[in-house]
Amino acid sequence: MLQVYNTLSKSKETFTPIEPGKVRMYVCGMTVYDYCHLGHARVMVVFDVITRYLRHRGFDVTYVRNVTDIDDKIIARANENGEPFHALTTRFIEAMHEDSDALGVIPPDIEPKATDSIPEILAMVQTLIDKGHAYVGDNGDVYYDVSTFATYGKLSGKDIADLRAGERIAVNEAKTDPLDFVLWKAAKPGEPSWESPWGAGRPGWHIECSAMSTNELGDHFDIHGGGMDLTFPHHENEIAQSEGATGHPFVNYWLHNGFVRINEEKMSKSLGNFFTVREILARYQAEVVRYFILTSQYRSPLNYDEEHLENAKGALTRFYTALRGLPDAEPVTVGDFEARFDAAMDDDFNTPEALAVLFDLARAVNKAKEEGAADAAGLGALLRKLAGVLGLLQGDPEAYLQGGDAGDGLSADQVEAMIAARNAARAARNWAEADRLRDELAAANIVLEDGAGGTTWRRG
RNA sequence: GGCCGGGUGGCAGAGUGGUUAUGCAGCGGACUGCAAAUCCGUGGACGUCGGUUCGAUUCCGGCCUCGGCCUCCA
């Protein structure tokens, strides 16, 4: 029985899809004016794992993740660069796909862009005006009238009176209430714009997601996800827009992932304390980064630290070492590994607990290998199968163990040659020479393992 | 100020009203020419003060403390 934590109820609930066997899920994706940082990577990997697990459980999942390709920051950045905004966004969408692919993220089934959804956006704004939820301001902007939506605040736990009492709400004369938010922004001279019944302009931030999600998944769908910082105002406003426009419940389960932190502080663009995915991938294999992300339950904070990445690297070394040298086989059904794995994932996608099961399984594999047991390969296959639900351990063990340091290290041929020389010395019982060669390799970050079947090596 | 979520052994990180998380690191053993890897064993923990209870790290309350949202943010 899958339990998921629903931000709407602030508790874990049994997951029941609207349509039996099918899951419709929408996740807020990137605003493409810069490279993805680790926080974006977390969203991509977390919801990728959720999608994989739902499929593993037999659900037919339709996964939609949007791209925000028009907004203030995009316009500002394009102006700084002196290029059309479309050139900027095209470039960063491509970069995002590269990062996403590198991290082993299965692409969403549908990836709508805001600029491709203008007709749907205009239609929804018009509906909101027609239903009395929105009004046109003096400056040509269209605003959502928050006071018309009775349950405003239900997702984020805000109280309208509290919000009104807050001092940080920007004053804008065109709004009749400071809490109102913009649906359609009138274009200033020189800005990208689209024609509308209210004049040339562009969509406000929140409306695009309401329009794209309901357009792709219907008025009412199962899961809506994103980073915790989107809970308010973005998702709160999406609810107001969507339910205001359609008159139907919008989303059953709201899932929000926690932040990546650095030095106990949120990693973010505005704080400038971020690492981009490509910076990190230049130094660690992508699977290490993915593993690192999954060492923390998705709602918990994830602290960025070199030491933690090193730890992740070592954990994968352990797994791949267990898988090393095993022939292909059908996964065995012995033991309760799969049941334990599923139970962990059923509990709000508890990946750390699931990984603990995989470690137990890896031990069973090692033991079977050591004892020459017949089911070693089958256990290894089970390990691969379950890890695959997390998007891990799908590679060739040798590629992981001997790869990674693509740069200045010794080539595989050089390493093999030195191992051959060392084994000749060992055969002659010339331990001093053998150890000298091993030390030399160690200095080049090569670890040797003398086994019954010969000497194997890996990069440390 | 309002509203959320945390504080677990050297580090990371799950979980539970009374019994081993797991990984890394440490210690002992097996294996090895010596190592490495692997296996076996092992020490070490639940912010603080109260309450409920036969019994709380686990439930409740206060306190301390960290983080987040309330403005763009994954």
**pLDDT tens digits for range A192-216:** 999 999 999 999 999 999 999 999 9
Number of domains in chain A: 2
Estimate to the nearest angstrom the gap between the alpha carbon of A335 and the chain centroid.
Answer: 31
pLDDT digits (tens, 9 = 90+) for A225-243: 999 999 999 999 999 999 9
Tell whether A340 is covered by a domain: yes
Is residue A375 domain-shared with residue A329, that is, in the same domain? yes
Q: Which of residues 93-152 of A touch strand B (CB under 7 A)?
A: none
Q: Which of residues 232-251 of A touch strand B (CB under 7 A)?
A: 232-234
Tell me how far CA of residue A229 lies from CA of A28, A126, A235, A299, in angstroms: 11, 28, 9, 12
From the CA of A181, how many Å to the C1' of B38? 61
Report if CB A336 to strand B is under 7 Å: no
Is residue A375 domain-shared with residue A411, that is, in the same domain? no
Domain end (from A395, A419, A441): A395
From the CA of A5, how many Å to the C1' of B48? 29
pLDDT at residue number A175: 87
Tell whether A75 is covered by a domain: no
pLDDT at residue number A335: 87
Report if CB A163 to strand B is under 7 Å: yes
pLDDT at residue number A172: 67
- Examine residue A233 and say whether the peptide bond preceding it is cis (omega within 30 degrees of 0): yes
Phi, psi of A140 (to 5 degrees): 90, -10
From the CA of A159, how many Å to the C1' of B53? 38
Q: The domain spanning residue A328 has which CATH number?
A: 1.20.120.640
Estimate to the nearest angstrom the gap between the alpha carbon of A344 and the chain centroid.
Answer: 19
Closest C1' nucleotide to A448's CA: B36
Report if CB A52 to strand B is under 7 Å: no
Q: What is the 8-class DSSP label of residue A389?
A: H
Rounded-to-integer distance, Cα A175 and Cα A262, Å: 38
Domain that includes residue A431, residue range: 405-459
Closest C1' nucleotide to A350's CA: B14
pLDDT digits (tens, 9 = 90+) for A79-135: 999 999 999 999 999 999 999 999 999 999 999 999 999 999 999 999 999 999 999
| Closest alpha carbon to C1' of B14, residue | A353
What is the percent of chain A with per-residue pLDDT over 90, rounded to a whole number? Answer: 90
- Rounded to two decimals, what is the model's pTM? 0.96
Positions of chain B reached by protein Cβ under 7 A:
1-5, 11-15, 21-25, 32-40, 66-74
Give me the interface pTM, i.e. the ipTM.
0.96
pLDDT digits (tens, 9 = 90+) for A179-195: 999 999 999 999 999 99
Rounded-to-integer distance, Cα A18 and Cα A132, Å: 29
Strands A454-459 and A446-451: antiparallel
Q: Is the pLDDT of residue A171 over 70?
A: no
pLDDT at residue number A270: 86
Report if CB A162 to strand B is under 7 Å: yes
Tell whether A438 is covered by a domain: yes
Tell whether A355 is covered by a domain: yes
Rounded-to-integer distance, Cα A296 and Cα A352, Å: 6
pLDDT digits (tens, 9 = 90+) for A302-345: 999 999 999 999 999 999 999 999 999 999 998 899 999 999 99
Q: Please say whether the beta carbons of A53 and A108 come within 8 A.
A: no
Report if CB A367 to strand B is under 7 Å: yes
Q: Tokens 């269209």 correspond to what residue?
A: A142
